[in-house]
Structure 1
Amino acid sequence: LSLKSTVCVNSNNSYLIISKHIDMTAVVEAFIWKNNVYLKLEPYQDYLQVTTNGKKNEIYNGIPDWVYEEEVFSSTYGIWWSPGGQFLAYVFLNDTAVERIEYSYYGNDQYPKTVVIPYPKANSTIPIVKLFVVETTSNVTSEVTVPDIIVTWVTDERIAVQWTNRSQNYGIIQICDYVASDWNCSQVYNAQLCLRFYSPFPPHFTGDNESFYKILSDRNGYKHIHYLTSGKVRDFPLKFTKPPTLKPQCMTCNTRRERCKYNSAYFSKNSLPKCFNNILCGFFLELRILEENKELEEILKDIQMPTVKQGNIQVAGFKLWYQMTLPPSFDKSKKYPLLIDVYAGPCSQKVDYRFRLNWASYLASTEKIIVASFDGRGSGYQGDRIMHALYRRLGTYEVEDQITAARKFIDMGFIDKKRVAIWGWSYGGYVTSMVLGSGSGVFKCGIAVAPVSKWEYYAAIIFLFQQNSTVTERAANFKSVNYLLIHGTADDNVHFQQAAQISKALVDENVDFETMWYTDKDHGLDGSAHRHVYIHMSHFLKQCFSLS
């Protein structure tokens, strides 16, 4: 038995991250407290302090700073156990030279607090990053000399590390071996990996602990599994054998095949599937029915649900996907108001077969508004040529394509061309604002939640190369549309500074617009603000579309 677990706790604004490695003979615990790494080898022993240089907003050990948490690791921790628990790898980040962002947190005190976060923006200094490995029994630490890291343990004494350059267009994989209390690294793969805007896939090593499988793009720009080797390797046949089992069967699709269009899979290390009910786990239990929900079933019979339609349209020489949430009893001979729900960030996807009950469901069923999304150039899962179209071109094709898609939706014949709106959150708020500021004449109104205004105000992970990629430069064109700008004052991702700059530019151009600020709320507008923002946006849309 071997288990690993990680828990993140916030105690008095200091993060405590606890990570355990458990096997049949030992329990080794690691945790991060005030930016330092600690180990505990036995339940009744004192903790061993691995690092001592941790300092708030300056030196991070075992945890990422803001930009690595948000844009690189997509995780709140930066520690990795070796398979047997002998070694613990941890990230080191030096943010001493990184510029700080400051914003007010109002709370209930007489004076507001000032929140300070190291936040590297475009064309500014980024953190210094290193990788260290501590041998848990001796507490000896050594450095694995690589920059921007993605870590995969191969064995207890072999680790694979990926890194990329700042432009995210070149990457390598190094394999490092623990020899004589030091880590010796050799480069096994390098390429123009096209890692732009998303983290690279980790390598999956074979039984020889040298060759590995990795998801990479083929020559046509589509992701496939590749088998990679290192060293002096002769050509040899690669065999894949089928295990002597029954033919794979779908356990849930026999009754309603039209409902089984989206799936997600996760496999544990020993390939046992994650289990959510007793049927799919291969065993059966006798259960007593606790609640049949007959009353709920009767209530739902009287509720008319919207239908969701997927299709594709030709834009810029590509066949691209769209999705529409249609009102109940949809009649294509009638004219309906249209709301474009946009994100459109690099490698994003809005169109899929996932089941949802959300704001679009309410708007379609109750207000009879068609809600449409479109995955244009820059979106993911349609090949590299489409996804990388936005590289160093933010604010161009993804904006143009949303306008083109709206025009094509109008041409379908059931859209009221005088009642077309657009809305988005974060990158979607940026695209919404850019679309409304384009002067296309297609949209009557729009809602931007937590939008970017200028890329120079955002994180260094994003590039600033397009001259006309700022919302503020288009402020004069907002006179012809109704615009609702929404932002949280404690947003640590897209800072309130972004909305403030849009507001200032619109005022300078004498544009009449609406705003809603959410005090002390971050990028997600959680808590009471979440319900409030959707009610407020619904009122704005109904007014825009002249709905009673």
Structure 2
Amino acid sequence: TFTLEDYFNGTARTKSYNMRWVSGTMKKITPTNKYINPNIKYTVTSRVAAFDYMVSADRKYVCFQSNYTKLWRHSYTASYSIYDLEKGDFINMDIPHEIQYLAWSPTGHKLAFVWKNNIYVKETPTSAFKQVTADGAHNLILNGIPDWVYEEEMFSTNFALWWSPNGRFVAYARFNDSGVHNIEYTWYGEGQYPETVLVPYPKAGTPNPTVKLFVFDTNTSRINEHYLSTVTWASDERIAVQWQNRTQNYVVLKTYDFNGSAWTEKTKFLTKGKWEVTSILKVTNDAVYYVSNEHNASPGQRNVYKITINDASHSERECLTCTLNADRCKYNSALFIKIYNILYIGIHVCENLKFLKTFLEVRVLEDNKDLENTLQNIAMPSVTHGTLKIGEFDLWYQMIQPPKFDKSKKYPLLIDVYAGPCSQKSDFRFRVGWSTYLASTENVIVASFDGRGSGYQGDKIMHALYKRLGTYEVEDQITSKYIFLGHCISNHVFVLQSYGGYVTSMVLGAGSGVFKCGMAVAPVSKWEYYDSIYTERYMVTPAENQAFYDNSTVMERAKNFKSVQYLLVHGTADDNVHFQQAAQISKALVDEQVDFDAMWYTDEDHGLGGSSNQHVYTHMSHFLKNCFA
């Protein structure tokens, strides 16, 4: 069987290919840390202990990153060393250490970087830098990088500066956190006294950061002067900017010419149907490539499509991946270069490189045959999908079933829940994880269900939770249990983690008697405690929706936990869902004299990484076995 040790050791981990496109020619870093291109080979990363690299657009320089120090989910600081490919050696630079972000220009070899919240530009790697901004200040003013809430909830990146296509202009955002309240948490470390960490963190109904967008002209060194959502250069002197209002129910897309005039054009829809476009992969002069879940009317599948366009019309959509290993690869995406190549993955391990134009196989980068052979010697679970009708909706579920599953037998059941707005748990992506161990070794059915509020099944389902988190998504998880009861031991049912930890806690606190056990990892407990951008997107402000804020707290349901087994887990340095959330649940349960289990992970953030990751899954496995005993 697939054991817990197999999960921790990565016995069945898929291999990917550490490659990125630089031009029409492939260049890569190999697992042996050697930089390779078609003309020259050097072992250089060991000299600077590099963990990543970036190649200039003209392919004359390679910038190596070292001394990685993580900050939040996407942000980090690093040191940068630039290697001259023509001279075959590193060059001397005046770039300081602890850089927050660095980017090559799209043409040539200009550089823009952020240090101590200020932006700098270099015309060449060897030239002196120009300081673009000078007002950057820790936890107050950030130039070219997002603050905590924009990084986490809006941009999902560590940068807020964008080169124009010709490399002349740099657009950048300036974040002012001076009016934002700080969250404080303790960092215990190894010192005699613990430290206090302060992070500007706007919570629901409190002041948000203010954001301005600027454009810096690298030729003249001149700067031309809500929610800033996305920034895209449409041409060398035209930039498209998307803004949202605070409640995020209204979006303005403005395209600005460099001289300050606005330009708009009536949009034309290229697709329509009862399915969703999940991402746009590539836009060329004559085509749009995108991913959708249209094929087989299955929201959990993903395929790559192409629409040919011209000034007057567009073609019908063409599916490029629907027939590529259709029985195995049902979750696909693509990477593009100028010759439009594709990399795709699926329910089984499929990573191949093909020409989109001719579909001739260029080269198999990684077929994961070793993994496939390994899995043939392990009793692996099977995965089934189906729908459950709740009201007017046919909602999708997924069941991971033990090897040699027998419908006449009864099995323990774990409901693996997330249930956050626009989330999806029932899909066709290949995964091997803790659920695999539970099904393979412990003979547990692991089920997931995408109820009201989930994504990729239409706006009506997704918008059902608007202004009412903690309602339908909780009710639907309770209802979903009944579809699985035919295969399960009576009452031996429980749920888990993150937003799922919130739903777990709300389900157990509902007092329905349906669930016997539950595990909540880093749960939200009260929406006023969470960040403004995420919370107000779905709940508006507390002043506008106080009744639903009040009725969606875990603490108000504390007395109903007396009849269930509950495990509460949290990291003390969680910058996202603060330890405050679990502490308030604990306080309420103690006030109601509820006996429960708790596990705190000192100085760990929301991801519970490192040794804590193995510990938490081992601990949850023990809790699960006791619950099923």
Fold conserved between structures, TM > 0.5: yes
The answer as to whether partners of 1:130 and 1:147 remain within 8 angstroms in 2 is no
Alignment counterpart, residue 328 of structure 2, candidates 259, 262, 268: 259
Task: Give 1:126-525 correspondences, 5 Å limit.
Answer: 126-143=208-225, 147-179=227-259, 183-186=260-263, 237-240=312-315, 252-253=324-325, 257-268=326-337, 271-274=340-343, 280=354, 282=360, 297=373, 300-410=375-485, 413-424=486-497, 426-461=498-533, 462=535, 463=539, 464=542, 465=545, 466=548, 467-525=550-608
Secondary structure class of the residue paired with 2:495: strand
Q: 1:51 to 1:11 in 2, by over 3 A?
A: same
Of the candidates 91, 95, 108, which is equivalent to residue 190 of structure 2?
A: 108
Deviation at 1:3, TM superposition (A): 3.4
Conservation of the 8 A alpha-carbon contact between 1:29 and 1:41: yes
Instruction: Note the aligned Cα RMSD (angstroms).
Output: 3.7
CA offsets, 1:8-67, max 9 Å, x none?
A: 7525995521110153xx311000001000000023221100000000100010000011
Residues 15, 100 of structure 1: alpha-carbon distance in 2 compared, 3 angstrom cutoff: farther
In structure 2, C-alpha distance between the alignment counterparts of 1:301 and 1:529, rounded to whole Å:
31
Equivalent residue letter for 1:56: H
Q: Which residue of 2 aligns with 1:193?
A: none
Q: Report deviation, 1:301.
A: 4.4
Once the two structures are superposed, what CA deviation does each residue of 1:163-190 show, in whole Å capped at 9, x if it has no partner? 11111111111110012xxx33345579
Relative to the length of structure 1, the TM-score reads 0.84
- What code does the residue aligned with 1:368 have? N
Distance in structure 1 (CA, Å) of the matches to 2:475 and 2:513: 13
CA shift in 2, pair 1:364/1:51, >3 Å:
same
Partner of 1:219: none
- Give the drift of 1:505: 0.4
Tell me the CA shift for residue 293 of structure 1. Answer: 5.5
Contact 1:417 1:442 in 2 (8 A): no
**1:195 aligned partner:** none
Matching of residue 545 in structure 1 with residue 628 in structure 2: yes
2:258 match: secondary structure? strand
Task: Indicate how the Cα distance of structure 1 residues 187 and 498 shifts in structure 2: closer, same or farther if over 3 A, else same.
Answer: farther
Q: Take 1:543 and 1:388, find their aligned partners in 2: how far apart are those partners?
A: 38
Q: Which consecutive unaligned segments of at least 5 residues does structure 2 have?
A: 1-22, 24-55, 66-74, 80-96, 268-277, 293-298, 300-304, 345-349
Distance, in Å, in 2 between the alignment partners of 1:334 and 1:15 is 59
For the residue of structure 2 that corresponds to 1:148, the secondary structure is strand
* Separation (CA, whole Å) in 2 of partners of 1:104 and 1:92: 29
Alpha-carbon distance between aligned partners in 2 of 1:121 and 1:14, rounded to the nearest angstrom = 29
TM-aligned CA deviation for residue 271 of structure 1: 3.4
Counterpart code for 2:492:
R
Q: 2:101 matched to which residue of 1?
A: 17
Give me the TM-score of the superposition, normalised by structure 2.
0.74
Where 2:228 maps in the other structure, the secondary structure is: coil
Name the % identity.
Answer: 55
CA distance in 2 between partners of 1:241 and 1:20 (Å): 37
Structure 1: 5+ residue stretches without partners = 191-199, 217-221, 228-235
Query: How far apart in 2 are the matches of 1:431 and 1:479?
Result: 18
Partner of residue 98, structure 1: 180
Query: Contact 2:343–2:353 at 8 Å: present in 1 too?
Result: no
Give the distance between the partners of 1:11 and 1:286, measured in 2 at CA: 33
CA contact (8 A) 1:121 1:460 kept: yes
In 1, are the aligned partners of 2:106 and 2:164 still within 8 Å (CA)? no
Task: Give the drift of 1:414.
Answer: 1.5
Report how many residues are paired: 506
Shift of 1:267: 3.0
Once residues 333 and 238 of structure 2 are traced to their aligned partners in structure 1, the CA distance between those partners, rounded to angstroms, is 31
Tell me the distance in 2 between the aligned counterparts of 1:203 and 1:186.
25
In 1, are the aligned partners of 2:506 and 2:557 still within 8 Å (CA)? yes
Stretch of structure 1 that moved more, 468-477 or 260-269:
260-269
Preserved contact between residue 131 and residue 149 of structure 1 (Cα < 8 Å) = no
Displacement of 1:285 after TM fit? 6.9
Indicate how the Cα distance of structure 1 residues 206 and 309 shifts in structure 2: closer, same or farther if over 3 A, else same: closer
Residue 233 of structure 1 corresponds to none
Structure 2: distance between partners of 1:371 and 1:203:
33
Q: In the TM superposition, what is the alpha-carbon distance from 1:107 to its structure 2 partner? A: 0.8
